[in-house]
A and B are shown apart, each in its own frame.
Chain A
Amino acid sequence: MERLSYFEIFSQITGHFWPVWIALVVFFIVSYVTRNYTGLYGKLFASPIGLIGLGIVMFWVFTAIFADLIITFDPYGQISGMKNKVPGTPVRGLEGEYYLLGGDRLARDVFSRVVMGSRSVLTIAPAATMFAFMVGIMLGLVAGYLPGKFDTMVSFLANLVLAFPVILLFYLMVSPAIQETGLPTILAAVMFLFPIAFFAVLVNSRLYTQPMKRNIIVGLILLVGFWIYLGLAFDSDPFGVFSMDPNLLNVFVSVVFANSPTIFRIVRSLALEIKTRDYVAAAQTRGEGTWYILLWEILPNARGPLIVDFCLRIGYTTILLGTLGFFGLGVSPESPDWGSTINEGRKILALYPHGAVPPALSLMSLVLGLNLLADGLREQSLKD
C-alpha cells in the first residue's frame, strides 16, 4: 500500500471528526435560536472574533467528549514497524488503516494520542481553574470588603506566592520527598474545602429567612460535598466513586496553588470598587448579613470581568499543564496529554518533527480559541 498524500490525510482526518462536526452544527443552531434568552452568551453572536473563539473551544470540547469514536488506534498501543513513521503511513497487515499523523518514538499513533490527549487537558484545566476561582473568590471578597488584618495578611501571602517562580514551585511540589511529607494532601485538604464552603455559604445567606428549606439544601450540599471531598483529597471515599491518582492530585494542587493568588487580587480589587456602590449601601441599610452582601450583591456585579478572566485563565492553566508535561512532571509519562507528548517528541524533533507538532498546534489552537472567546466576551460585556 502507498503512503497517503497530504490532501488525503487532511480529508481522512476531517472525516474521522464526524461526531464533532454534527455536535458543532447542533450546538450552534441551538445557541443561535436561543440567543435572546442567554444573556451575555447570546450577545456573542454579534462578535465574529468571539464566535471563532467559541467554535474552536467547542471543537475541542466535543473532541474530548467523543474521543472514543474519533480515535483510529489505541493511544497506548504500539504496533511494530511503525516507529517514527511519517504521516499517512499504512499500517502493516491492516487493509486501509493508516497512521494519519505518523507514529511516535514508541510506535504509537500520534493522531489517536492527540485526540485522547484533549480529554485529559479539558478535564484538568477547567476543573483546576474552577477550584482556583473558588479559593480566590472567597478570600478576595472578604479581603476587599473588610479591610484590616485579614486583608493585609492574605495580600502579603498572595504576593509571596506570586513572587515565587512557578517553575520552581512545580519542581518542588512533585518531588518524591515532598509527597512523603503529605504536603500536597494537606494543601488539597485546605483548598478543596473552599468549594464546599462557597456553596454552603451561598445558599445559607440566601435562604436564611426560610430555615426549613435552608437546612435541607445546606445539609445536602455538605453531605455530597464532603463525600466528594473525602474521595478527592484523601482518596478514602467509602463508596469508591470519587478518587484521584496521587500524581494527578499533585499536578492539580500545584496548578490551583499557582493560580489562586492572581484571582484573589482581581476579586479583591473588584470588591474594593463595588462596595462603594449604592446597592451595597442599600443592602447594608436593610441589615443584610456580610456573606449575603458579598455573595449576592458584590459577586453577581463582578461577573463580567470574572467570566472573561475565567476563559483567559483556562487557557493559561492549559499552558501551565503543558509546561508541567514538558518537564516530565505531568500526570504520568505514558499519558497522551499534550505537554507530555510534546516533551516526548522534542527529543527527536530535528529528525522527525511530526511527533511534537500536532500536539503543539492543538494546544496553541485551544488557548487561542479561549483567548478569542475571552476577547469577544469582554467586548460584549463592555457594551452594556
Chain B
Amino acid sequence: MFRFILRRLGITVISVLCLTFVVFILTNLDGNLVKLAKFLGSQRMSAEQVDTWLDLNGFNQPDVIRYGEWLGVLPSYQLVQDDGKILGRCTRPGVSLEDTPRYCGIFQGNWGWSVIFREEVDSIIFKRLALTGWLMLYVMLIMVPIALVIGILAGMREGTRTDRTLSTFSIMTTATPEYVSGVLLVALFSSNAVGLKWFKGSAASAMENITFENFTLPVATMALYGMGYIARMTRASMAEVMTSQYIRTARLKGVSFTAIVLKHALRNALIAPFTVIMLQFPWLLTGVVIVETLFNYKGFGWTLVQAASNNDINLLLGCSIIAVIVVLITQLISDIGYVFLNPRIRVS
C-alpha cells in the first residue's frame, strides 16, 4: 500500500513538472515576449530594440534554463547596468544587489510579478483562491447531498416512476452547461423582462459579504451541472448493489426495506460516487471560470481569464500550476481513496 502511494506520488510530481513546462513554453513564445517587452519597455520599440531589451532582461536564454530559474533550481539571471540598475527576474525596485536573492522561483516562494495587477502573483492567487474556495464550498454543500439523495432514491427501486422522473431530471441537468443554466437563471430570476428579481445577477458584492441574494444564482448554476452526473453514477452503483446476493439474503431474513437501504446497500453503493465526486473537481474548474465570468465574481477563474486574455505570463503560469496541482491531487486522492474504501481491491 505504501509503495503504491509512493509510486502514485512520483507520477504526480512528474506530471506536474511536464505540464508546467508545457505551459511555460506556450506562454513564453516569441510573440508573447515581444508583447511583454513592448508593454514594459515602450510601445514604439523597433524589432532590434525589442531584441536588445529581451537580451538585457534575460529573456533570450534557452527555455529550459529559464524554466529552471522559474522553478528555483537554477540561479536567476542578473545584470548590473552601468548606472547601477539591476535587471533580472529576482530584482524588485529599491532592493540592492546584496539583498537580491540568487535563487527566486516557485520553490523559494517567489511566483513572479503580475504586470496587469501590479502585484506579486502569489498574493493575488491566494487571495482569489480563497474567494473561489467559498464558492466551491457552497457548491459542494448543495450539490453532493442532493445528488446522492437523488441517486439513491432513483437506484433503490430501479424502473419505478420515481426512478424515471429523477433520472430524467439528472439527464436534463447534465445537458445544461453552466453558461446555459446561468443565462436561463439570470433571465428568469433577475432580469427586468420577467420581473421576478428575486436574486442578483451579479455576485460582485459577494466578494465582501456573501448573502442569500447575491450568491444563490452562481452556486445554483454550478451545482446543477455537476449534480446530474454524480446522481447518475450513484444511481447506477446503487442499482447494481440492490441486485446483489447479500441484499437478497437480507430481504429473505426479513430485514425491513429502510434498514436494508441504510445499513447494507448505502455503504457499498457510495464507493463509486466517491471517485466521481473527487474527479469532479477538475470539471468544476471550467465551471468556476464560466460562472465567475458570468457573475463577475473575481475569484480564481476570473483571474485565469484575465491572465490568459491579457497575456500576463507569470500570473498565467501561477494559475496553471495551481489548476494542474488541484487536478492531479484530486486524482491521487480518488485513486488512493478508492483502494481504501473498496475491500475487493488489493494492491501489492
Residues of A in contact with B (beta carbons under 8 Å apart): 49, 86, 156, 159-160, 163-168, 171-172, 175-178, 180-181, 315, 319, 322-323, 326-327, 339, 342, 345-346, 349-354, 356-357, 360-361, 363-364, 367-368, 370-372, 375
Contacts and interface: CB of A to CB of B under 8 A. Distances in A.
Contact of B30 (A167, A177, A322, A360): A177
A339 B290 CA distance: 12
B231 interface: no
Given A180-B30, A368-B175, A160 B15 contact: yes
Nearest to B283: A166
Given A177-B30, A323-B290, A327-B293, A357 B285 contact: no
A166 B290 CA distance: 12
Contact of B187 (A167, A319, A357): A357
A361 B171 CA distance: 15
B114 to A, nearest CB: 16
10 contacts: A172-B23, A172-B26, A176-B31, A180-B30, A180-B31, A326-B179, A327-B293, A357-B184, A357-B187, A368-B175
B183 A315 contact: no
B110 interface: no
A315 B180 CA distance: 14
Given A178-B26, A180-B29, A350-B201, A357 B183 contact: yes
Interface in B278-303: 282, 285-286, 289-290, 293-294
Contact of A349 (B183, B290, B311, B320): B183
Describe A's contact surface by its main secondary structure.
Answer: helix
A151 to B, nearest CB: 15
B177 interface: yes
Interface stretch (B49-57, B86-94, B237-245, B322-330): B322-330
Nearest to A362: B180
Interface string B328-340: 1001000000000
A13 B193 CA distance: 21
Contacts of A180: 29-31
B194 interface: yes
Given A349-B183, A361-B180, 5 more contacts: A163-B324, A171-B308, A178-B26, A350-B191, A372-B171
B174 A168 contact: no
Nearest to A354: B193
Given A171-B309, A322-B180, A367-B175, A163 B331 contact: yes
Contacts of A175: 32, 308, 311
A168 B30 contact: no
Interface of B: 11, 15, 18-19, 22-23, 26-27, 29-32, 35, 168, 171-172, 174-177, 179-180, 183-184, 186-187, 190-194, 201, 282, 285-286, 289-290, 293-294, 304-305, 308-309, 311, 319-320, 323-324, 327-328, 331
B309 A165 contact: no
A181 B31 CA distance: 9
A171 B306 CA distance: 11
B320 A165 contact: yes
A372 B30 CA distance: 47
Contacts of B183: 342, 345-346, 349, 353, 356-357, 360
Nearest to A48: B164
Contacts of A372: 171
A167 B289 contact: yes
A348 to B, nearest CB: 10
A175 B305 CA distance: 12
A342 B195 CA distance: 21
B177 A163 contact: no
A96 B309 CA distance: 45
B324 A165 contact: yes
Given A175-B311, A357-B184, A342 B179 contact: yes
A163 B19 contact: yes
B29 A163 contact: no
A363 B32 CA distance: 35
Contacts of B177: 319, 322-323, 363, 367
Contacts of B184: 357, 360-361, 364
A284 to B, nearest CB: 30
Contacts of A357: 183-184, 187
B186 A342 contact: no
Given A168-B23, A168-B308, A375-B171, A356 B285 contact: no
B281 to A, nearest CB: 11
Contacts of B23: 168, 172
B26 A164 contact: no
B29 A177 contact: yes
Given A360-B180, A364-B180, A168 B190 contact: no
A366 B63 CA distance: 45
Contacts of A371: 171, 174-175
A353 B186 contact: yes
Contacts of B327: 163-165
Nearest to B170: A371
